Amino acid sequence: MAHIIKKRKQETIKKKLVCKPITTAIGQLLVGSLNLRPVFKTYKFSDEMRPKIIRQLLTRNSCLQFANVIDSFGEDIVNTSDYLQISWTPEQLKDFDEKSYKLASTVFPKFASVVLCRITYNHGHFVDWHQIADNSCLSAMQIFLNSPIEYEGGETAFVMTNGYVSIPKREAGDAIIYGDKIMVGVTEMKSGNNYSMFLLK
């Protein structure tokens, strides 16, 4: 009887996970809505794997302009029921908003591509744990284009150097830079629209 109760509890926990594991080691990792929970003790971290947060890199007005582009863009997009993505070159970003381009280049120089995206609530969309090296990227900068009060869930989460999961607080215009070795995921989208711009190297 005790075995059955334990099994049911384990099944309940699995259903609450908002990011699925991608390796056996990561299998010990749990992500709560805003909680930090122990991951594992054997994973080796380095200081270069720490994400760097930059507050108010872009103005709210600039963020709104980019979000409007995502909503209105009609060609050259990947459009599914819960995820919309637009790919730009650095030159296209510069032509659209030179000031934002210069600000981004100051903290994240020589980026090779730009991705504008919108995650919309639809059947609990989330992004699985991964490393950007899986997509042949060395580093990335994510700029948040709208306030978290406009959506629920859809939070960028990282496995930190202390073996915990971190979900940094963010506002529209904030940016976060991370390298190719850090584990990153996005929690379950529960409501609203989450807009972001990614610069990739």
Q: What is the pLDDT of residue 194?
A: 92
Using a 10 angstrom Cβ sphere, with 0-12 exposed, 13-18 middle and 19 or more buried, the burial of residue 147 is: middle
Strand 156-159 to 184-186 pairing: antiparallel
- Domain formed by 2-200, architecture: Sandwich (2.60)
Mean pLDDT by 10 residues, the chain (201 residues): 45 35 35 38 53 94 95 62 86 97 97 92 73 87 96 86 77 95 84 94 95
- What type of residue sits at position 34? L
Tell me how far apart the alpha carbons of residues 114 and 135 are, in angstroms, rounded to a whole number. 14
Enter the pTM of the model: 0.75
Could you tell me which residues are beta bridge partners of residue 112?
none
Cα of first residue to Cα of last residue in the chain, in angstroms, is 54
